[in-house]
Amino acid sequence: MRRVLQTKWLYWLIAVLALAVGLVGVVVPLLPTTPFLIVALWAAGKSSPRMAHWLENHPSLGPVLRNWRDHRAIPTTAKWLACIMMLSSLAVIWYRGASMVVLVIISLLIISLMAYILSKPSR
């Protein structure tokens, strides 16, 4: 029983932290919001049905989260913004003089993430 309570609190902590970072992302231009809110909803679903309900029914955040939950859809604007930010990050890493190994690894990661994001529907 104790382990279940510890796991529940761990999920709750993940949900709160992801929600906090996601809300900061609303006002900080380069920090993404949606991925953190999706993590918050996932963790809240495992720990706090009340928080999950609040997130899903929030006037601003709810539609994006329900769209992800119901259709695994990402808005077109969010897709392109995510891709632009990832490529910008890669450009900064290259400009700062990262080694070729680091550039190749990060490039492969970014290409994989972009392929995943762009493969999702744009409801």
H helices of 28-121, where?
A: 34-47, 49-56, 62-71, 76-95, 100-119
Domain boundaries, the chain: 2-71, 76-119
Q: What is the pLDDT of residues 83-122, one digit of tens each?
A: 888 899 899 999 999 999 999 999 999 999 899 989 999 8
Q: What is the pLDDT of residues 38-92, one digit of tens each?
A: 999 999 999 999 999 999 999 998 998 998 889 999 888 888 888 888 899 899 9
Q: Report residue 113 CA to chain centroid gap.
A: 12
